Amino acid sequence: MTMDVKEQKIANLGKNVKTLVKNENCMVLMLSDSTGEGVMTVYQVMPGVMICFSDMHMERCDSEFELKRNMRVLCIDHCREGRIEMEVGPGVSSIMQENEIRLDNRENHKGTSYYPLRHYHGVSVLMDVEEAQRTLDEMFHGFSVDIAKLRQRYCNQEKPYAIREDAGLSSIISSLYQRNMERAEVSEAKEYYQIKVVEMLLHLEAMAAEDTREVRPYYYKTQMEKIKAVHTRITENLKERYTIEELADMYDIPATSMKKCFKDVYGDSIYSYQKRYRINIAASMLIQDKNKEIQEIASFVGYENPGKFSVAFRSIMGVSPAEYRIRKEGIM
């Protein structure tokens, strides 16, 4: 199967992707396997530009995504909730978590993606470099941004370019989610998305690449194996809680080194990561397990006190568990 809103073929998606809805402006795709399912809603914004909203509730996804021959793509990804890990080369993984932005050329997108929180919501702006440039040149009688040069600037290394804490770009991307939730008329939404794509490109053109890049250090395989084991330990049974000292003793690694390496790899302290992991699992259960009481979900993720669970949930998601369930049911 190919991705072809308005007959524009950019990539082969693979046999594990099923089309639920398709018209000239939009496609709704479903991925599913034994670990869960995910839905991608793809809008054709203009010739050469698509916006894809992803809602994943699964542990992993074997992607068969592969660009068509000689296709050059620039993709802007944003993670709103959850986390995604993808191997982009031998021993090299691209990690994107909440509020991070990634620029990618999609040349190493085939393989297994992991959702360790079993919960991921995000958006991707996918541009066919040549077609998008032609479209924007026609719209503006010559567009000031050279998309091919922009792609070369941000995507000239082995792994995707990660951005954190860029308020301007984050604000533009946040507006995409808002318009998607409002379910505006297709014509109005397309014009709105077109403006936002132009804003993104202008912002990236003006941005100094070195100022916002997120650099993640490398570790030896033995260190990574221990840190992965720590991660498995703290996430496989959410009712169990461990101190830093207990984990350091279990895996024979100095506590200070373990804390630093864990934060470098997973982007957060062990304590904060455990909290976010529990809340993300709870958020997924609130949507998928509609018959489960909130107190039952709280207990499953390690909170015997419903009040403490509600406070923790609000601190991560911005709303109470009950409000979150109602809000998600209203837009699904």
Query: For residue 2, what pLDDT band results from cuts at 50, 70 and 90?
Result: very low
> What mean pLDDT do residues 300-313 have?
94
In the chain, pLDDT over 90 holds for what percent of residues?
43
In the chain, pLDDT over 70 holds for what percent of residues?
81
pLDDT computed for residue 309 by the predictor:
96
pLDDT computed for residue 1 by the predictor:
38
Query: For residue 12, what pLDDT band results from cuts at 50, 70 and 90?
Result: low
> What mean pLDDT do residues 28-32 have?
87
Say if residues 95 and 66 touch (Cβ distance below 8 Å): no
**Cα separation of 161 and 214, whole Å?**
8
Q: What are the structural domains, with CATH classification, of the chain? A: 5-212 (2.60.120.10), 221-331 (1.10.10.60)
Does residue 87 or residue 302 have the better pLDDT? 302
Q: What is the pLDDT of residues 161-219, one digit of tens each?
A: 888 778 899 999 999 988 776 555 556 788 899 999 999 999 999 986 555 455 555 55
pLDDT computed for residue 289 by the predictor:
85
> What mean pLDDT do residues 61-85 have?
81
**Cα separation of 302 and 270, whole Å?**
16
**Cα separation of 237 and 4, whole Å?**
42
pLDDT computed for residue 275 by the predictor:
93
Residue ranges with strand state E in 90-194? 92-97, 101-104, 111-114, 120-128, 161-163
pLDDT computed for residue 190 by the predictor:
86
The residue count of the chain comes to 332
Say if residues 220 and 182 touch (Cβ distance below 8 Å): no
Place of tokens 């499953």: 300
Arithmetic mean of pLDDT over the chain: 83
In the predicted model, is pLDDT for residue 272 greater than 50? yes
Structure token pair of residue 158: 């082995």
Distances from the Cα of 62 to the Cαs of 145, 193, 315, in angstroms? 35, 29, 33
In the predicted model, is pLDDT for residue 245 greater than 70? yes
In the predicted model, is pLDDT for residue 332 greater than 60? no
In the predicted model, is pLDDT for residue 74 greater than 50? yes
Query: For residue 270, what pLDDT band results from cuts at 50, 70 and 90?
Result: very high
pLDDT computed for residue 37 by the predictor:
87
> What mean pLDDT do residues 99-119 have?
80
pLDDT computed for residue 4 by the predictor:
45
Q: How far is CA 75 from the centre of its chain?
A: 12
